Amino acid sequence: MPSIVPATEFDVQKARAEFPILARKIHGRPLVYLDNAATTQKPQLVLDALTRYYTEDNANVHRGVHLLSARATDAFEGARGKIARFLGAADPREIVFTRNATEGINLVAQSWGRAHVTVGDEVLITAMEHHSNIVPWQMLCAATGATLRVAPMDDRGELRLDELERLLSSRTRIVAVTHLSNALGTINPVREIAELVHRAGARLLVDGAQAAYHMPIDVRALGVDFYVVTGHKMYGPTGIGALYAPTAILEAMPPWQGGGDMIRSVTFEKSTWNDLPYKFEAGTPHIEGAIGLGVAVEYLRALGMDRLMAYEQELLAYGTEALQAVPGLRLVGTASHKASILSFVLDGIHPHDIGTIVDREGIAIRTGHHCAQPVMERFGIAATARASLALYNTREDIDALVDALHGVRKVLG
């Protein structure tokens, strides 16, 4: 195994003890969970917060004067403030709760997009996007008569920034780009992209679903117009996410769903809209999900995102070296600036077979196109096997995967 020496002080064993599921066994073997890009496991703090809400404070928010409703509302809105601080937003009103990053992108496409994009306009995305940052823009273009443009990447999985700049024009209305590719691990230079986009007079949406639990995020320093995150990848519950946008942009956007709580007044002749951010939060929200996500981001803040990123970068370097020693293995995505993702193929062996065999050893990885079929097409493959890292992973996890891959070669190679 590689001999990379740790350079940071992060007690990974202490962190692992905070995640109950990591103590269980799969097929009689200790769980090695390397499917974090799909969803992360949850620390006991988050699980306790969900239980506490249902056993002590369960009530609807914003609507009641009784104690339970007041306590639920305080916890819900407190979580909004925690997420605002975590992302570097100027005001909690700039945080709109959504079901996930996907819903955040759709909200922007259907609200801001339909108000600002028309026939002859262009929407620019990149070749490394998740389907969630492709399909909503295709739908917008189909509805408005706009054109979808795609900025290419190179053979390492790095965005061709020169081509993105070339594709920007006076017709570009919005650019949508991933911060960290779920299929390749590439980290895009968001601050630099923002400068190019704004110089062209366009808006920038960044899909932060993968980035937000691996690195510090400061939306104002990055200069983005929209930033979306998803809770279940941030050690929080499923079914909750958030959209960030400055108040001036959100104020000018029409609501995209109608219903309770997003209105100020309703008559049969006309309805008027509630203040931010409630204008975009129709109906009863995912109260416990928001509270759980608030606890998760405070947990991450306490650990220190800089420390976590440094630890994971060491682990990524170790894993990159270890996997490359497996005969016939080729990494897909070798950008110079990347994080957390080890996507690979093994000569002559289908990724699904790899995933099935290593599962027998208690090792969970993801196989398939990872909701990034255009990425697979770019590299001339149908699928990859993907090991994705999180704060509780260890070198021993990677060693177990490498040993299992040698076993795959013996069985199928």
User: Is 141 annotated in the active site?
Assistant: no
The CATH H-level (homologous superfamily) assignment of domain 12-30+304-412 is Aspartate Aminotransferase, domain 1 (3.90.1150.10)
Give the model's pLDDT for residue 247.
Answer: 98
| pLDDT of residue 336 exceeding 70 | yes
- Quote the CA–CA distance of 343 and 9 in Å, as a whole number: 27
Tell me how far apart the 2 most distant CA atoms of the chain are, in Å: 72
- Span 202-226, mean pLDDT? 98
Q: Are the C-beta atoms of 32 and 247 separated by less than 8 Å? A: no
Q: How many beta carbons lie within 10 A of that of residue 62, not counting itself?
A: 17
HEC sequence for 365-390: CEEECCCCHHHHHHCCCCCEEEEECC
Question: What is the predicted pLDDT for the residue at 4?
Answer: 38
Domain boundaries along the sequence of the chain? 12-30+304-412, 47-302
- Please compute the mean of the pLDDT values over residues 337-352 and round it to a whole number: 96
* 413 pLDDT tier (thresholds 50, 70, 90): low
**Please, are residues 122 and 172 in contact by the beta-carbon 8 Å criterion?**
yes
For 154-206, the DSSP string reads: -TTS-B-HHHHHHH--TTEEEEEEESB-TTT-BBP-HHHHHHHHHHTT-EEEE
Catalytic residue among 38, 364, 371, 381: 371
If pLDDT is split at 50, 70 and 90, which confidence band does 2 have? very low
Residue tagged 């998760």 (tokens) = 296
Q: Which residue has the tokens 């509270």?
A: 291
The one-character DSSP state at 53 is I
Q: How far is CA 202 from CA 168, 176, 224, 327, in A?
A: 9, 11, 11, 47
Q: Residue 413 corresponds to which tokens in the numbers above?
A: 């190679």
Contacts (Cβ under 8 Å, ≥6 apart) of 238 = 39, 100, 231, 232, 289
In 3D space, the residue among 82, 103, 67, 45 whose CA is nearest the CA of residue 285 turns out to be 103
pLDDT at 412: 87
β-pair partners for 207 = 178, 228
Lowest mean pLDDT among 2-6, 189-193, 225-229, 296-300: 2-6
CATH T-level assignment (fold) for domain 47-302: Aspartate Aminotransferase; domain 2 (3.40.640)
Average pLDDT over residues 259-281: 94
Confidence check: pLDDT of 3 > 70: no
- Residue 64 has a pLDDT of 84
Other Cβ atoms closer than 10 A to 298: 19
Round to whole Å and give the CA distance between 168 and 147. 12
> How many other C-beta atoms are found inside a 10 Å radius of the C-beta of residue 166?
10
Instruction: Render pLDDT for 62-111 as a digit per residue (tens, 0 to 9).
Output: 988 999 999 999 999 999 999 999 999 999 999 999 999 999 999 999 99
By residue count, the chain amounts to 413
Residue 9 predicted with pLDDT over 70: yes
pLDDT band at 1 (very low <50, low <70, confident <90, very high): very low
On the question of a cis peptide bond just before residue 277, with omega within 30 degrees of 0, the verdict is yes
Q: Are 96 and 250 in contact (CB under 8 A)?
A: yes
